[in-house]
C-alpha cells in the first residue's frame, strides 16, 4: 500500500491544475518527484516536488531537470537519514489513468532501485465525474506490464469527511484560485526556494 500525506497530495494536485485549468487546448502534462521512505511493505510519501511540464500528451525530463533532481537528492542525503525518491507523479489531462510505454520505461529507473517505488497518474477531469482523479501504479515483477496498487491519503481529520469529498474540496479550491489569480509558477518557486519547500 502507498500512504500519501495530505501535504504532498495537495502539492501534486496544485501542480496538475496549474497546467490544466484554462482552455483545454492549453492543457499540459506535468512531472514531479515523490519523496518518502519504505515502511515495511508500504511506501510513505512525505513530499511531492513539481519539476516540469510538457505538452498536452507528453512530458519528459530535460538536462537541467536531471541536475535539479540530483541537487534535491544530495540535499535529502545531507539533511535526513531516511528520505529518498520513492517514485514520481505525472498527469494525463483528459486522457485517463494508465502508464504509457514511455511511462513504463521511466518507472523502470525508480523500481530497479526500489521494488516498492510507485508511479501516480492524475487525470483531473475524473474528479468532476466524482472519481478520485488519480491512480497509483507499480510494474509487475517481470517488468512486463503494470498494475494498480492500493493507496490511502493519511492525516486527514475526521471533519474532512470522505476521501473523495476532500479531494473534490482541494480540487475546486485550486480551480477557483487559478481562475481568480495570476498563476504562480510552482516549478520556478521550488527551484528558487528548495530548502524552504522541503522544510529541511
> What local confidence, expressed as pLDDT, does residue 92 receive?
93
The model's pLDDT over 30-89, given as tens digits with 9 standing for 90+, comes to 999 999 999 999 999 999 999 987 766 667 778 888 888 888 988 888 888 889 999 999
- DSSP-derived letter for residue 155 is S
Q: Three-state DSSP class for 86?
A: strand
Domain boundaries, the chain: 2-198
| Integer CA distances (angstroms), 173 to 1, 57, 70, 87, 180, in order | 28, 25, 33, 26, 11
For residue 164, pLDDT beyond 70: no
For residue 179, pLDDT beyond 60: no
pLDDT-derived band at 172, boundaries 50, 70, 90: low
| Triad 27, 166, 178: Cα angle to 5° | 35
- Domain spanning 2-198: which CATH class is it, in words? alpha beta
**Higher pLDDT among residues 13 and 186, named by residue:** 13
Q: What is the dihedral of CA 194, 97, 177, 46, to 10 degrees?
A: -30
For residue 6, pLDDT beyond 60: yes
For residue 167, pLDDT beyond 60: yes
Amino acid at each position: 500500500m502507498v500512504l500519501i500525506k495530505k501535504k504532498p497530495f495537495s502539492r501534486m494536485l496544485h501542480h496538475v491544475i496549474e497546467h490544466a485549468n484554462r482552455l483545454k487546448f492549453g492543457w499540459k502534462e506535468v512531472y514531479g518527484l515523490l519523496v518518502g521512505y519504505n515502511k515495511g511493505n508500504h511506501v510513505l510519501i512525505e513530499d511531492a516536488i513539481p519539476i516540469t511540464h510538457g505538452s498536452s500528451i507528453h512530458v519528459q525530463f530535460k538536462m537541467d531537470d536531471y541536475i535539479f533532481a540530483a541537487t534535491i537528492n544530495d540535499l535529502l542525503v545531507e539533511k535526513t537519514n531516511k528520505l529518498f525518491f520513492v517514485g514520481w507523479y505525472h498527469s494525463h489531462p483528459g486522457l485517463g489513468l494508465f502508464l504509457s510505454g514511455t511511462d513504463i520505461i521511466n518507472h523502470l529507473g525508480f523500481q530497479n532501485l526500489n521494488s516498492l517505488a510507485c508511479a501516480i497518474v492524475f487525470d483531473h477531469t475524473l474528479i468532476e465525474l466524482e472519481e478520485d482523479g488519480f491512480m497509483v501504479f507499480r510494474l509487475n515483477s517481470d517488468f512486463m506490464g503494470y498494475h494498480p496498487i492500493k493507496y490511502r491519503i493519511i492525516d486527514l481529520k475526521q471533519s474532512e469527511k470522505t476521501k473523495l469529498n476532500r479531494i473534490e474540496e482541494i480540487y475546486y479550491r485550486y480551480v477557483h484560485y487559478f481562475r481568480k489569480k495570476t498563476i504562480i509558477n510552482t516549478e520556478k518557486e521550488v527551484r528558487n526556494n528548495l530548502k524552504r519547500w522541503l522544510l529541511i
